[in-house]
Chain A
Amino acid sequence: MSAIAAGLRDSRERFNQLPRRTIWAIGAVVLVLLILLPFAYQPASGFIDDCVTALAYVVMALGLNIVVGFAGLLDLGYVAFYAIGAYVIGWYGSGFFASINGSKGFHFVAESASHLPGIHINFLFILVIAALFAALAGTVIGLPTLRLRGDYIAIVTLAFGEITRVFAVNGTDIHPFGKNYPLTLGRQGITPIDPIDLPGLKAFDPLNLRPWYWFGLALVLLVLFVNFRLRDSRLGRAWIALREDEVAAASMGVPLVKTKLMAYATGAAFGGMAGAFLASYQNTVNADQFEFSFSIFVLAMVILGGLGSIWGVVLGAVALSFINSRLIPDVLNGVPHKIGLNFDLTELSFGIFGFLLVIMMVLKPEGLLPERRRQIEFEEGVGADEALYEARA
């Protein structure tokens, strides 16, 4: 394991020494290969299905990375934003509000759904609305944590995540939109959800996963671009300053409240977008999806890859989502039978997942591709991290 890690670091250093133009060329080739990837498989193959999910997870992990990795605010309730994004499309992109407008429905640039009742807004606008709603929620959740530090932030965000889940599960009993409409459909789930319907194209087909894949890839590229630009912006530097030393940052003129709230809002917005995308892809918004363990799943991606390191987080998200969807159910499942034991490994998937987390952290706590700044801290033993997550109240 540590040999792999050392190899990874070596090849990374060698990669960074290449001329800039070569790096761009390699990037372009990889991108083209990624775009062409679906043609190597059947349009509805399970592999492409896993890829689409992995892409959505990458978007979420990149969002969480802004909060935890850049700004150093430990968020254990990230699933709340997934839920909010999913419910935005559940409300505004399905037959949920069935009798609105005299059962004729309300449509906004939604060609394929124009004959259906309910509100149907085009997915691109849904994406924007989901991002806005989630950002608003992120700000609200951020407010009570402003005075707190470290682990206490983790607890408050965890509490908000659980409150969101309880509302999602029990939403059938509350009617904020008038008597006929509950807040959610709880465990039964809102279904069907409108597929993505881009102007000028046919609506995406659940049996042809290629367009979903490309849309997911485009979303990841967009989020990656925003992430890199943010990291190198004034705001990004303020986040990192805040993470390294809050008091020093404040005395250098970094506005703490605004900077922290911006981190929550931006991170949440990506979570909301990924939530809307996943809901449309899975064709349902079900309260059971918003468990606390999902927050941990996304956080594990960020930490596995390396806090604050954008490429690391991408790697972590892809790795964990494939371990979850492929390695444990498909590859490892045959192992007990081969060695003569008779039990179903899928039952153990969470245990194996936990085991991997423990092994990974004990062997390489800084993540697979650590951010350069953190790596230096690790190697030279600069104790910046100690001050970072110290609990203060």
Chain B
Amino acid sequence: MRTFLSRYGLILVLLILPVAYGIHDLQVDGNLTRLGENLKDGISNGAIWALVAIGYTLVYGIIELINFAHGDVFMIGSFVSFSFWSTLGLTLTSKGFGLFFGLLITLVIAMLACGTLNVLIERVAYRPLRNAPKLAPLITAVGFSFILQNVGLEWFGGSQRGVDDLINAQKTFTTIGGVTITHADVLAVAVTAPLVALLAWFVTSTRLGKAMRATAQEPEAARLMGVNVDTTISLTFLLGGIMAGAAGLIYALYQTTIWFFQGFQAGLIAFTAAVMGGIGNIQGAVLGGLIIGCIQQISDNRIGGEWTPAIVFAYLVLIMVFRPQGLLGEETREAG
């Protein structure tokens, strides 16, 4: 019973919401379209969370720090994207190749900006504290989170700001089995999937990726084997920031509003996703992001958006109780 619970308990818990509402839908509507819509929204939304969660999981995997500033780096990504595409002159009338090319440049700029920002934060706020107690970098992370939020506040003001709906986000792209797939959904998945694949390839198959994995396992031994630990950590932050920048652009196009406080909630959700998948594990972060996205959409649609944070965090607590190492996490070396 105990092993059963620890092995499948989390999966059972995760299935509660979709199964309960699936049965409800079958009884009321006679089909699963509504649940399908929820899950579809969940996956495209979850793709954004997955990109942010990767940043958390990479950083935690390598220096065991909850990078509280990461959500705000994502927010800066949205702001940079909006500012840049406005400068480029992309408007509602932009179409076809111009729009595609413009957004591609914006994506690259947002990714580079966030990557650089993340590296700078590491350099200023975390590296000097490498040998300090674990709590010290946590506090500087929170400090930087506040600083970035204030930058966002000065940049676009305190209220939510609507941005141009460049891609016609809610327009139907295609319909599968009664479930409408919009432009926004296509965008989220089409940007996220190649990025994640590229990252996974980078980490598993390149020399630098090998250095990252070695540093994550045992920094001291990696250093003795000739890995430049400082550079590797900077690289990790760069990759995390790049993913957050991409997520920032998708978010701005998907939601068509940006807000200086968006990073806080997104950060907590993405962190939950990273923990759910098994922190330090990239596939886990993606899986966790998608699952959290689905939970969130089901809760927004059926229970009420104001309760969603409580439900997501209740799931977080349940994960911690049933399976602290997460869905895909292995028993870590320190497990005792």
Contact = CB atoms under 8 A, between A and B. Distances in A.
A356 B309 CA distance: 30
Interface stretch (B30-38, B141-149, B173-181, B229-237): B141-149
A152 B134 contact: no
Contacts of B268: 158, 162, 292
Interface in B109-128: 124-125, 128
B133 A347 contact: no
Given A74-B135, A154-B66, A358 B143 contact: yes
B134 A388 contact: yes
A82 to B, nearest CB: 18
A163 B313 contact: yes
**Most interface-central of B146, B264, B310 (chain A CB within 10 A):** B146
B316 A393 contact: no
A365 B133 contact: yes
A156 interface: yes
A200 to B, nearest CB: 44
Contacts of B264: 292
B225 interface: no
A348 B147 CA distance: 9
B316 A365 contact: no
B111 to A, nearest CB: 25
A361 B136 CA distance: 6
Interface SS, A side: helix
Given A160-B317, A169-B306, A351-B149, A303 B136 contact: yes
Contacts of B149: 350-351
Contacts of A356: 143
Given A166-B306, A166-B310, A354-B145, A152 B320 contact: yes
Contact of B334 (A68, A159, A292, A390): A390
B153 A347 contact: yes
B143 A155 contact: no
B29 interface: no
Given A144-B321, A167-B310, A357 B146 contact: yes
Contact of A392 (B146, B151, B275, B336): B336
**Most interface-central of B66, B138, B313 (chain A CB within 10 A):** B313
B56 to A, nearest CB: 11
Given A303-B139, A357-B142, A156 B316 contact: yes
B335 interface: yes
Contacts of B139: 299-300, 303, 357, 361
Given A162-B268, A347-B153, A389 B133 contact: yes
A149 to B, nearest CB: 9
A6 interface: no
Interface string B303-336: 0001101100110110011001100010010111
Contacts of B145: 354
Contacts, number: 147
Interface in A273-304: 292-293, 296, 299-300, 303
Given A361-B136, A389-B134, A162 B310 contact: yes
On chain B, which size bracket covers the interface?
35 or more
Contacts of A258: none
A391 interface: yes
B269 to A, nearest CB: 11
B156 to A, nearest CB: 13
Contacts of B132: 361, 365-366, 385
Given A156-B317, A393-B324, A151 B142 contact: no
A390 to B, nearest CB: 6
Contacts of A357: 139-140, 142-143, 146
A348 B125 CA distance: 20
Interface string A377-393: 00000000100111111
Nearest to B143: A357
A5 interface: no
A326 to B, nearest CB: 19
B335 A393 contact: yes
B317 A144 contact: yes
Nearest to A153: B320
B218 interface: no
B251 interface: no
B328 to A, nearest CB: 13
Q: Which 10 A-B pairs have the closest CB atoms?
A: A351-B150, A354-B146, A357-B143, A389-B134, A393-B324, A159-B313, A365-B132, A166-B310, A365-B136, A354-B143
Interface of A: 68, 74, 144-145, 147-148, 150-152, 154-156, 158-160, 162-163, 166-167, 169-170, 247, 292-293, 296, 299-300, 303, 307, 347-348, 350-351, 353-358, 361-362, 365-366, 385, 388-393
11 contacts: A68-B135, A151-B66, A158-B313, A160-B317, A162-B309, A163-B314, A347-B150, A354-B143, A354-B144, A356-B143, A390-B334
Given A361-B139, A391-B334, 19 more contacts: A74-B135, A151-B66, A152-B324, A154-B138, A155-B271, A303-B135, A303-B139, A353-B143, A354-B143, A354-B145, A354-B147, A358-B124, A358-B144, A362-B140, A385-B134, A388-B133, A389-B135, A392-B335, A393-B324
